[in-house]
Amino acid sequence: ATPAATMVGTTIGAQNGVLFKGGDILERAKDVDTVIFDKTGTLTEGAMELTDVVIFDADGQAITDGGDTAADGGQLAARDRLSEDDVLRLAATAESGSEHPLARAIVDGAKERGIDVTDPDDFENVPGHGIRATVGENDVLVGNRKLLRDNGIDPEPAAETMERFENEGKTAMLVAYEGELVGVVADADTVKESAKDAVSQLTERGVGVMMITGDNERTARAVAGQVGIDAENVRAEVLPEDKSDAVESIQDGGRQAMMVGDGVNDAPALAVAYVGTAIGSGTDVAIEAADVTLMRDDPLDVVKAIRISDATLQKVK
C-alpha cells in the first residue's frame, strides 16, 4: 500500500475505534482466514453472576430444599448439616482472596443473600482449576473436577448436577469441605448481543471462526452453540499457559489467525497470532501484546477491522 492509503486506512480505523499498531498490521488484517475468539469477556460480557447453589448429602445425593432435609435417620455427619447458606459462605470466604471473575461472582452473590463473608485463613490459587483455602481450621476447595480429583476427591456424585448447569452454558464449580464433596455453585455469564452477528458475518466472508477457553468442554460448546460456532471449532479446558500453544497449533496447518482476547491470560496468545486483537476494556498487558486494539467492547468491530484492511488495500491495487 502507498503511505497515503495506509494513512487513510489507519484514520478510518481510528474513527471507528479500531486501532492498528502500524501500516503492516493494516495490510495483514485482510489476509486473516481464521478468527479465534476467547470466550469469557470477549464473546461474553465477562460479568458473571452467581445463579445456583446445590448441596449434597453423605450419599452424594443432591438436596434441593435446604440442609435439614437430608433424611438419614439422624445419622448425619457434621458436614451433612451444612445448609445451602453454609456451603455458599464457605465457597465465598475461600474465594474472597481471588480476583477471578468466577470468584467475584460467588462473593458478590453470597453478600447479596445476606451471608457474612470473611477472609480465608489461608489461600492458594490453582490456575485454571480453582482455589484451595483454609477457613477456620477447615480445608475448602472450590473449582473444577480436576481440582477435586487432584485432591483425592471423587466428583462423580455431582456429575448430573454439573452437566445440567453446563448444558445451559453456566460454569459449575464443585465445593469440597474437609475432603468431601458438599456442593456445587454455578455462575452464569451472558453472551454479548452482537456476538452472533459477528460470527455469521465472518462466516459469510469465508473466515473460519473458533473459540478458545479454559472453561470445560460442555459449557464451552453450549456458549459456542449460542453464537453459531461449530462444536469442532471449540478448544476447551485450555490452561492459561497453553493458550499460545493452541494458537500456534491452529496456525501450524498454514492458517493465518486473528486471536481476539481481553485478559492477561490472553497476552501470549495474542503475541503469537498472525494478528493479535485486544478488545474493549482489555487489560494493559493484552493491549500491549496486541497488533490491533478495539476501543469498544463489540465483537462486530473484529469484522470492521478486516473490512477496513480489505477496503484500504483494494483501492490502491
**Can you give the three-state secondary structure of 179-228, one letter per residue?**
CEEEEEEEEECCECCCHHHHHHHHHHCCCEEEEECCCCHHHHHHHHHHHC
- The reply to whether 117 sits near ligand ADP by the rule CB under 6 A is no
Which of 9, 67, 130, 155 forms a contact with ligand ADP (CB under 6 A)? 130
Which of 9, 13, 120, 143 forms a contact with ligand ADP (CB under 6 A)? 143
What residue type is 156 in one-letter code?
E
* Interface residue list for Mg ion (CB under 5 A): 38, 40-41, 263
Which of Mg ion, ligand ADP, none binds 246 (CB below 5-8 Å, type-dependent)? none
- The reply to whether 35 sits near ligand ADP by the rule CB under 6 A is no
Q: Count other C-beta atoms under 10 Å from residue 101's C-beta.
A: 19
Which of 34, 93, 144, 244 forms a contact with ligand ADP (CB under 6 A)? 144
76 vs 285, beta carbon nearer ligand ADP: 285
The residue sitting closest to ligand ADP, measured at its beta carbon, is 214
Q: Going edge to edge, which strands form the sheet with 171-177? A: 62-63, 49-56, 180-188, 171-177, 138-143, 130-135, 122-126
| Piece of the chain touching ligand ADP by CB under 6 A; list 4-12, 50-58, 76-84, 128-136 | 128-136
Question: Please, which contacts does 275-283 make with residues 24 or more away whose CB atoms are closer than 8 Å?
Answer: 275/25, 275/28, 275/29, 275/32, 277/302, 277/305, 279/41, 279/42, 280/41
Q: 242 catalytic, yes or no? A: no
- Write out the residues near ligand ADP by the rule CB under 6 A: 39-40, 95, 98, 100, 102-103, 128-131, 142-144, 171, 173, 213-215, 240, 265
Active site residues: 38
